[in-house]
Structure 1
């Protein structure tokens, strides 16, 4: 009897302790959450460049925080727009609706952009360009939920060189999202979706000359001979800049500016990340983020890693130098957060919106299967096949993003069943060289795939916005130039992305268990004690939270 009473008291005491722990997590959340997305960052950059990093950037997150080593995207396609939306909504394109960067809209019969919004005006630029908002994203983000939870008192600021990298993470209720307009302007801008004018700190930043200061020589941060983690500086697998004969260090950005879209050359160099970090630090100070007890949200996307990867490839010395410099930018940001917000008073997570493939031409040179896909020849073949079998080329309305869209008005007029056309086209597509798999609308809407590429396709398939036949190419086969890297597939070089948590409420440790990109938003929601994003399908990574 005494033992039983003692056991009850122990259980009761443990429950009180657990409840207290949960209560403290909810009552005392971080003052600021900083979400960092590194565009086109493969997981193996963490290990490949680890010994080159300093102690206070990537290594600080890895050694003081939690490292999810087997983190993957759980859908296709792996592009920037869907990536940023999925990270912050906690769900996939199947639900949030951002199925690509651009896609064919079957209802308006035109190509649309994931962040484009003709109903708003540009702020900070006298132009009809750059009209942007998150209106095409159907679900809320974790930043939205924080705003709702705090009665709109918690601020949200989104920052990226790419508009979609700033807008989609910040969500629908953000105080502002700022992106960089290069070309001839070289300014940080926003749209009337958020506000009617630029705040004084943004105006001051644009007038400071900071942007112009990066029109300088880009050379390696350290002796180029020490960059042994990369391929040769001079090779045939890189594009480089117009006006320079070889894609080799150094690059005189001021001299090359006029031949490379003006200030856009900063975007496609390592200095674009430096500029993003400068602006993020200005935002922390200008918006006084994390200075009261109500949680704020800062979303930062480092876009230049993607531009450099597309231009020079994932095995280039340029990409190595870009990450070594980014490591120092993270150190700068963390130092400001320590000073302005306070150590252990803020929480950071870092991930990527997708990975990237080695340059297929390089892979072929070392005998790894790879190739280049001729989309124009493919389109002509499919249209000719359909015309021959069904009597009309017009049955195919659009082919884009490895999807084939039918014209249902023409199908009805010719009394052709959509399923018959799907099956015929899918069979023809599968006969094509470099095509690995094909899925039809009927398959994706009537089956529940749980494993393999089929499951990834299904989670990226939006019933209303996606096409009627989905094409999967052979591994390392791309529609791209013969130089530089790209992405978009469900293979591990595109899906395996870093996931680091660091700061308040985060355990120290690591795991090799598989995690998903959609797990981030629910995990941060639990840390903050707020409702999940309204379309969230990811899981809570409870082993990450203290």
Structure 2
């Protein structure tokens, strides 16, 4: 080999590599679909794997990238905070979404995460549309896509829950739509539009909600096949539908519907079916995936959360819903193949939080767990009244205590002493693991510790003065059925993170990633700037 060839060959290889990279960047997906499955624990895919078909979750996992160690890195793990983290690549301490609601000291009342009195409902006469992203303090991946393409890309948000649709789509979305139980339709607010698009009016006119509520909910498989991964059908850990004698199959949805409203659809698998229908209608109506610039469809499935809260994570109902969801997912993927093209879209699937086991189920099976915090605010005020002569705790929300600072000042008692006494009292409770004041949370922490999770979830103007952390397996309350979420524990923080489609590698990865890594990774895929409050890291291994 001549000296000239010796130096020319590496140069040509570099040129080819650069050219290939530029070609990959130029060939962006025509459509990105961000799917959030509300309350989907990280272990659910493996739990129901044997009952899934080949075209849904198995297609995505076998043909795409599976981050099996994805977690939230903040507390508390609630719906609004989870959706906001996915879309912003941020954490509550920066994007301001510290919970589904929080106490506003100035207004002296609880504030809902997306409430907005300055807008009106579009598509209904109800107040369900008085919502906007005004409380979200950073941009979303959709906002950045709109900016990067000079507003040519379309960004759509869809969910049964208003907060799920709004907080994933962002401030400058082309359209954001959520469910209104007063008329069974998808609506919006004047923040986003003055009138519903014609395609949505036509979709609403189909009255699919009423149609789906005429169907009984029966198990898809023989009952014996659920025994591998679910508790028996009739157990005391599950909540009943109104009018039912016991929480067992079949659930006579038409009869239950007579005693309630159209909102019942949320608590059935047909809520997912309706959401998939709406996603397809949006793709058709907005011609998503057919433009010169990439489009983004944010779809959140709220029914898994409603069903999980009512029946609990070990129930036949939750299992049956996910097996049905897998079939619905397969149908949706086949639709995308035909409508957008097999190599023209990318899907990312994750969840806004997980779920705890029912404490009664845990204790019945000799696991640690229980209930706590019942009337904790009242008992704490009684303790402080006896000690200091004042009862300054005004609110207990999101496992945080808010203090009446003016009452403490007028009493001429040091707030430091009050807070210290509160923490001492709280730690006497057998279900309390730790109690931190806001000064500790703001200045302390370590990269992997619980205190850092509290710090990441703490926004000074919206959070309380003392934060309490329950022991693993404990939920707030006296007793109950079903479950909830919100803790720092893995059952609440660990969620799926699945990638599939154009330019996505086939692999399974057990390395630690955070949900806040989704937005910067999608930004890299689309070659745009990540959201303004982004703290996540690009997951480089997912790319071919």
Task: Say yes or no: TM over 0.5.
Answer: yes
Deviation at 1:221, TM superposition (A): 1.3
Q: For each residue in 1:196-245, what CA deviation from the matched residue of structure 2 results, as whole angstroms up to 9, or x when unmatched?
A: 11111111111113222211111011222222221111111111201110
Pick from 437, 445, 450 the counterpart of residue 434 of structure 2.
437
Counterpart for residue 391 of structure 1: 389
Structure 1 counterpart SS, 2:435: strand
Deviation at 1:187, TM superposition (A): 1.1
Q: For each residue in 1:433-489, what CA deviation from the matched residue of structure 2 results, as whole angstroms up to 9, or x when unmatched?
A: 211111111111222422221111111111221111100001111025511011110
Aligned counterparts of 2:12 and 2:425: Cα–Cα separation in 1: 67
Counterpart for residue 246 of structure 1: 246
Aligned counterparts of 1:247 and 1:163: Cα–Cα separation in 2: 28
Q: Does 1:460 align with 2:460?
A: no
**Superposition RMSD in Å:** 1.6
Conserved in 1, the CA contact under 8 Å of 2:131 and 2:189?
yes
Structure 1 counterpart SS, 2:224: helix
Aligned counterparts of 1:236 and 1:7: Cα–Cα separation in 2: 76
Pick from 466, 469, 472 the counterpart of residue 469 of structure 1.
466
Change in CA separation of 1:222 and 1:408 when aligned onto 2, cut-off 3 Å: same
Aligned counterparts of 2:406 and 2:23: Cα–Cα separation in 1: 59
Aligned counterparts of 2:82 and 2:151: Cα–Cα separation in 1: 26
Counterpart for residue 423 of structure 1: 420
Aligned counterparts of 2:415 and 2:146: Cα–Cα separation in 1: 44
Structure 1 counterpart SS, 2:512: strand
Aligned counterparts of 2:305 and 2:107: Cα–Cα separation in 1: 30
Q: For each residue in 1:65-98, what CA deviation from the matched residue of structure 2 results, as whole angstroms up to 9, or x when unmatched?
A: 1000111111111110000000110011111110
Deviation at 1:414, TM superposition (A): 3.3
Runs (4 or more) in structure 1 with deviation over 6 Å come to none
Conserved in 1, the CA contact under 8 Å of 2:400 and 2:463?
yes
Counterpart for residue 405 of structure 2: 408
The correspondence of residues 488-499 of structure 1 with structure 2, limited to 5 A, is: 488-499=486-497
Conserved in 1, the CA contact under 8 Å of 2:442 and 2:458?
no
Counterpart for residue 41 of structure 2: 42
Structure 1: stretches of 5+ with no match in the other structure: none
Counterpart for residue 500 of structure 1: 498
Aligned counterparts of 2:65 and 2:358: Cα–Cα separation in 1: 31
Counterpart for residue 339 of structure 2: 340
Aligned counterparts of 1:11 and 1:88: Cα–Cα separation in 2: 41
Q: For each residue in 1:334-388, what CA deviation from the matched residue of structure 2 results, as whole angstroms up to 9, or x when unmatched?
A: 1121111111111100000000011111111100011011431x11221122223
Aligned counterparts of 2:529 and 2:399: Cα–Cα separation in 1: 36
Aligned counterparts of 2:7 and 2:476: Cα–Cα separation in 1: 65
Aligned counterparts of 1:514 and 1:186: Cα–Cα separation in 2: 41
Conserved in 1, the CA contact under 8 Å of 2:102 and 2:110?
yes
Q: Could you tell me the TM-score, scaled by structure 1's length? A: 0.96
Q: Does 1:318 align with 2:345?
A: no
Q: Could you tell me the TM-score, scaled by structure 2's length? A: 0.96
Q: For each residue in 1:223-268, what CA deviation from the matched residue of structure 2 results, as whole angstroms up to 9, or x when unmatched?
A: 2222222111111111120111011111121111132x31121110
Q: Does 1:304 align with 2:303?
A: yes
Q: Does 1:449 align with 2:451?
A: no
Aligned counterparts of 2:385 and 2:8: Cα–Cα separation in 1: 79
Structure 2 counterpart SS, 1:251: coil
Change in CA separation of 1:536 and 1:8 when aligned onto 2, cut-off 3 Å: farther
Structure 2: stretches of 5+ with no match in the other structure: none
Aligned counterparts of 2:110 and 2:276: Cα–Cα separation in 1: 33
